[in-house]
Amino acid sequence: MNRNGYKLAVTATGLIGVLLIASPAIGAVLPFPSGEQFSELYLLGSGHIAEDYPFNVAAGQNYSVYVGVVNHLGSSAYYNLFVKFRNQTDLPPNATTGTPSPLQPLYEYKFFIQDGKNWENSLRFSVINASISGGCSFVRQLILNGIKFDVNKPAVWDPSSSLFSYQFVFELWLYNPPFDSVQFNNRFVDLQLNLTEGI
């Protein structure tokens, strides 16, 4: 190797060493590409774990679940979480098209989460006015976190699943500053319910 080649190799090795030593400081100044940015939505049962979800529900009984959100967006964010109540004929959210259920929300949570942090709250609910007659059921009123709502939802007996099917749908919406509005974040979970004869 000639003298110029040797100087070039030493200089390149020195520069690489400097860059390796300085990389933590560079990382603090220059943002590197990160992984996928998203919001995580979850639902826990009454025992605060991913089981023991209420399923067979009867009028006059109290039930609870926990709903939570984790912010993995890379920045702080404002959220709305809408709670909707549907029967088997109401349209659910559509993950393929990214559209929410057209149902009006019964209940709403509004909250702010810093990046990497989570928010969690409970939903306490009870059916207070319902009936079952023949192959039909009818839920007239619900109480959600102490507030009474008229829902007036019928359901027809489903022989394939042997239930009167209802669902709570939890939809996550995210504040979009350029539009100064909340927009559906295409994140949702549901809680399947079966209205029972014990009413």
CA dist., res. 104 & res. 70, Å (int): 25
Which tokens is 94 given? 């559509």
pTM of the model: 0.81
Compute, in degrees rounded to 10, the torsion defined by CA atoms 145, 147, 150, 153.
0
Q: Which CATH architecture has domain 38-195?
A: Sandwich (2.60)
Instruction: List the pLDDT tens digit at each of the 199 positions of the chain.
Output: 566 555 555 555 555 554 556 555 544 444 445 678 999 999 999 889 999 999 999 999 999 999 999 999 999 999 999 999 999 999 999 999 999 999 999 999 999 999 999 999 999 999 999 999 989 999 999 999 999 999 999 999 988 888 899 999 999 999 999 999 999 999 999 999 999 976 4
H or E element that contains 165 = strand 165-176
